């Protein structure tokens, strides 16, 4: 490696192991309105794994640079930019699994100098997904019930924290007791361990949720719907089972449930600049206050990205897998 070269991950979309860490020339210096960002920590999300496998909603031409989020430090600025070198920022575009990027300054979100870098690297996708699903799908009031499965996931942990900040009552469904312990540590109000056998889960005292958040699909969607009040809404935002979500005719016709999907990328395309700014302004405030965040299970240097991806794909891991670059330099 030299000062003018960087490590970048490239993938084909043909499988989790069909990727390579390549050495490339550093990006060109920033032009007017642009900044160069030295990436510090990169995140591996379930959507990234689906992209690597060619199973995501979109498939970019190969080879492509994976990654949807991360955190970095501004290293150079072009004319007409108010940001300064040294500022910590969150890039909003994707293709983040690289050590350095140059992009328009308007496409980065400034963060506090002393921000927790691990949590900042995970800010763009999961906390925003949690907040938007809780605010923009059905009108919820403090005290309303929300139920979700895969609640020990990074999105799930943020739903617990964001829901608490909004005054909602959150019921968490997980498949194993170990995951339940994680959620108890977060202060989750109700935790239901459901291995997918036996009667479907229910909420305490016959309560019904106005909103259900399904990350699994398949029959898990229908089991989660048992916790939803008549007329409620089930939102599918993930397919951890690899199967399309199922709801019975009884739920749809006689109970009046609504099944809909959510994809953060589509929300970005339709929400408008003011709403996007509002969401991330709130998230940055909550991050500074320690109200949101998720566990980290492991960190790998970018040169070991293949091992990092294999770890992220493991069943039963307890937290997010992060990738660090040479610019991180051991910062906490």
Tens of pLDDT along 301-329? 999 999 999 999 998 787 899 999 999 96
- pLDDT at residue 295 tops 60: yes
pTM: 0.85
Which tens digit of pLDDT belongs to each residue from 90-113? 999 999 999 999 999 999 999 999
Nearest to 136 by CA among 162, 106, 110: 162
Give me 291's structure tokens. Answer: 């109200």
In the chain, which segments carry CATH 3.40.50.720?
126-265
In the chain, which segments carry CATH 3.90.180.10?
5-122+294-324
Residue percentage of the chain with pLDDT more than 90: 80
Task: Supply the CATH classification number for the domain 5-122+294-324.
Answer: 3.90.180.10
pLDDT of residue 331: 47
- Active-site residue flag, 280: no
d(CA 77, CA 98): 19
- pLDDT at residue 41 tops 70: yes
- pLDDT at residue 152 tops 70: yes
CB atoms under 10 Å from CB of 219, counted, come to 14
Which tens digit of pLDDT belongs to each residue from 180-238? 888 888 888 899 999 989 899 999 999 999 999 999 999 999 999 999 999 999 999 98
pLDDT of residue 63: 95
**CATH class entry, domain 126-265:** alpha beta
pLDDT of residue 332: 40
pLDDT-derived band of residue 134, with 50, 70 and 90 as boundaries?
very high
Contact assessment for residue 122 and residue 43, using Cβ atoms and an 8 Å cutoff? yes
pLDDT-derived band of residue 1, with 50, 70 and 90 as boundaries?
low
25 burial class (0-12, 13-18, 19+ CB within 10 angstroms)? Answer: exposed
């Amino acid at each position: 490696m030299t000062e003018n070269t960087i490590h970048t991950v490239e993938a084909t979309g043909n499988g989790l192991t069909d990727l390579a860490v390549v050495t490339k020339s550093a990006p060109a210096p920033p032009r007017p309105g642009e900044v160069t960002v030295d990436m510090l920590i990169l995140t591996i999300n379930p959507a990234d794994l689906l992209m690597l496998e060619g199973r995501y909603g979109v498939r970019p031409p190969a080879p492509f640079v994976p990654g949807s989020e991360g955190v970095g430090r501004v290293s150079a600025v072009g004319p007409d930019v108010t940001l300064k070198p040294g500022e910590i920022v969150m890039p909003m575009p994707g293709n983040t699994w690289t050590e350095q990027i140059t992009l328009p300054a308007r496409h980065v979100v400034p963060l506090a100098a002393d921000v927790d870098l691990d949590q900042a690297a995970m800010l763009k996708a999961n906390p925003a997904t949690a907040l938007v699903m809780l605010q923009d799908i059905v009108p919820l009031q403090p005290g309303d019930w929300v139920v979700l499965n895969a609640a020990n996931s990074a999105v799930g942990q943020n739903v617990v924290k964001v829901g608490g900040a909004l005054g909602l009552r959150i019921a968490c469904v997980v498949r194993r007791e170990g995951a339940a312990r994680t959620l108890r540590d977060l202060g989750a109000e109700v935790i239901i361990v459901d291995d997918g056998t036996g009667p479907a889960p229910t909420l305490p005292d016959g309560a019904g949720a106005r909103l259900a958040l399904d990350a699994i699909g398949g029959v898990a969607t229908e089991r989660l719907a048992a916790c939803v009040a008549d007329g409620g809404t089930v939102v599918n935002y993930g397919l951890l089972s690899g199967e399309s979500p199922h709801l019975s005719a009884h739920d749809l016709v006689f109970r009046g449930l609504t099944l809909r999907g959510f994809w953060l990328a589509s929300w970005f395309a339709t929400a408008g600049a003011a709403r996007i700014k509002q969401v991330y302004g709130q998230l940055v405030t909550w991050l500074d206050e320690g109200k949101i965040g998720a566990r980290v299970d492991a960190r790998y240097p970018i040169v070991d990205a293949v091992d990092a991806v294999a770890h992220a794909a493991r069943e039963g891991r307890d937290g997010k897998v992060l990738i660090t670059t040479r610019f991180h330099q051991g910062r906490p």
